[in-house]
Amino acid sequence: MEYAIETRKLVKRYPTKRSSSMGYGRGRGIPSFSALINLIRGSSGAYIEALKGIDLQIKPGEIFGILGPNGAGKSTLIKILCTLVLHDGGEVYVNGYDPSKEPSNVLKNLQAVLPESRGFSWRLSGKQNLEFYALLYGLDDTESKKRIDYLLELTELKERAEDGYQRYSTGMQRRLLLCRALIRDTPIIIFDEPTTGLDPTGAADFRDLLKNKLAYQEKKTILLSTHNLQEAQEICDRIAILDKGKILACDTPDNVRHLVIEEREIKIDILPIFPDKKYDLLVKQLNEFSYVTDIQPETNQNGRIFRINIRLKKEQEITEILKVISENELKIKSVNTQEPTLEEAFIQMTRQAKKKVIKEEETGK
Ligand SMILES: Nc1ncnc2c1ncn2[C@@H]1O[C@H](COP(=O)(O)OP(=O)(O)OP(=O)(O)O)[C@@H](O)[C@H]1O
Ligand SMILES: [Mg+2]
């Protein structure tokens, strides 16, 4: 299968400092040809590895999310894909083309919407700005006019299309950026943190636009980076959790959620009772089940227990627990299960990775 985006053991290193012998300028000269190459490639001194061998396979038509804390390498990966940064090791392909060898073919297949993207004239209207870019891309005049009208409609900017760009809100500017990215009608669109800076409604509208219009209507492959786990859960078909240049998990948001979470919690609401010996006995009996890891009562203002929160192994059924509770003559009002959230999984995964690094450093591996 030809993937829309594929990486194999992808590595990116950034230099952290240049050695003093590399300095050049007036009266200094460049020591040697290899030194010059090192200087250009920045491989002369210490470096940090922003990507440490990333394997990714993104299918055509997928909405794929890259999640990770600050400095995880999300933007680096995106910049490599859209030919802004060269990789240092491994392989990377966009619809079969290597960004470092065939950048123009890559750019025929992919458009990126980056947070730093600007380049709109404040004096022109939204529509004129798009027409300017269509001209710059060398597109056919009639075709591009039609496309621009279609895109302004798609992004609900049509009514404000003739307004000066300086009068656009952040959300409208973001949607105009999207129009610009779509003018050339490439099959893959990449977004680096598309909803950062938008208000909750603007962000929800933008997500809706990505999912329902770009992915389903226009059949685009979408790669996006985000810090927003809720966002990933809502719109992505699959996600990868990236941390310190490594992929910790790659699957559907639901599967990732369940991957590291070993336990779940059930909340049992009962007719309130005062804690007494009988209750202590119940807790003792529940604790005898090897799969129960924690029992916490919740009390109301009168000191009566109205809820028992029980943590237990993820896959375990709860018949025995309910049986013991009813045998102790407690009246069960409702039972709710607390599903693990993507956020919990994310925090647990990145913490585990951090512990592993510390351990490796300590043991000198
Ligand atoms: N131009 C650069 N020169 C040197 N180091 C860089 C450069 N760009 C990124 N880095 C480093 O590479 C690592 C990954 O950075 P990157 O910007 O890809 O992370 P990110 O996941 O996008 O983070 P954020 O969520 O903060 O945007 C970081 O340690 C960062 O400091
Ligand atoms: Mg970034």
pLDDT in tens, 225-248: 998 888 888 899 999 999 999 999
The mean pLDDT of 82-95, rounded to a whole number, is: 95
Residue 31, pLDDT above cutoff 70: no
Q: Where in the chain is the domain with CATH 3.30.70.100?
A: 262-338
Q: Where in the chain is the domain with CATH 3.40.50.300?
A: 60-258
What is the distance in A from the centroid of ligand 1 to the CA of 75?
7
pLDDT class of 47 with cuts at 50, 70, 90: confident
Q: Whose CA is nearest to atom 16 of ligand 1?
A: 73
pLDDT class of 24 with cuts at 50, 70, 90: very low
Question: How far is it, in rounded angstroms, from Cα 209 to Cα 216?
Answer: 10
Nearest atom, ligand 1, residue 245 CA: 14
Give me the pLDDT at residue 185, please.
86
| Residues, CB-to-ion distance under 5 Å, ligand 2 | 74-75
Residue 33, pLDDT above cutoff 80: no
Nearest ligand, CA of residue 74? 1
The mean pLDDT of 7-32, rounded to a whole number, is: 67
Give me the pLDDT at residue 295, please.
92
The mean pLDDT of 242-264, rounded to a whole number, is: 87
Question: How far is it, in rounded angstroms, from Cα 233 to Cα 127?
Answer: 34
Question: How far is it, in rounded angstroms, from Cα 22 to Cα 26?
Answer: 13
Give me the pLDDT at residue 346, please.
82
Nearest ligand, CA of residue 49? 1
The mean pLDDT of 129-138, rounded to a whole number, is: 92
Q: How many CB atoms lie within 10 A of CB 52?
A: 17
Give me the pLDDT at residue 20, please.
46
The mean pLDDT of 273-294, rounded to a whole number, is: 92
Give me the pLDDT at residue 140, please.
87
pLDDT class of 18 with cuts at 50, 70, 90: low
Nearest atom, ligand 1, residue 85 CA: 1
Give me the pLDDT at residue 267, please.
94
Question: How far is it, in rounded angstroms, from Cα 155 to Cα 213?
Answer: 9
Give me the pLDDT at residue 237, please.
95
Q: Enumerate the β-bridge partners of residue 97.
A: 94
Q: May I ask the CATH architecture of the domain 60-258?
A: 3-Layer(aba) Sandwich (3.40)
Half-sphere exposure of 9 (CA within 13 A, CB side): 2
Whether the CA torsion 45, 241, 215, 97 is positive or negative: it is positive
The mean pLDDT of 130-134, rounded to a whole number, is: 94
Q: Whose CA is nearest to atom 24 of ligand 1?
A: 70
Give me the pLDDT at residue 25, please.
45
Half-sphere exposure of 46 (CA within 13 A, CB side): 3
> Looking at per-residue confidence, does 271 or 229 come out higher?
271
Give me the pLDDT at residue 9, please.
97
Q: Whose CA is nearest to atom 18 of ligand 1?
A: 73
Q: May I ask the CATH architecture of the domain 262-338?
A: 2-Layer Sandwich (3.30)
What is the distance in A from the centroid of ligand 1 to the CA of 14?
9
The residues lining ligand 1, judged by C-beta closer than 6 Å to any ligand atom, are: 14, 48, 50, 68, 70-76
The mean pLDDT of 93-118, rounded to a whole number, is: 90
Residue 252: which of 264, 268, 235, 266 has the closest Cα?
A: 235
Residue 341, pLDDT above cutoff 90: no
Q: What angle do CA 354, 293, 298 make, to 5 degrees?
A: 105
Tens digit of pLDDT for each residue in 316-330? Answer: 889 999 999 999 989
> Mean pLDDT in the chain?
87
What is the distance in A from the centroid of ligand 1 to the CA of 210?
25
β-pairing, 47-58 vs 5-15, is: antiparallel
Q: Which of 44, 51, 54, 70 to mutate to test the pocket of ligand 1 (most atoms within 8 A of CB)?
A: 70
> Looking at per-residue confidence, does 57 or 311 come out higher?
57
Residue 202, pLDDT above cutoff 70: yes
Residue type, 61: G
**What separation, in Å, do the N-terminal and C-terminal C-alpha atoms of the chain show?**
38
> Which of 27-31, 253-257, 326-330 has the least mean pLDDT?
27-31
Residue 280, pLDDT above cutoff 60: yes
> Looking at per-residue confidence, does 96 or 116 come out higher?
96
Residue 39, pLDDT above cutoff 70: no
Token digits for 88?
A: 């240092």
Give me the pLDDT at residue 254, please.
87
Nearest ligand, CA of residue 114? 2
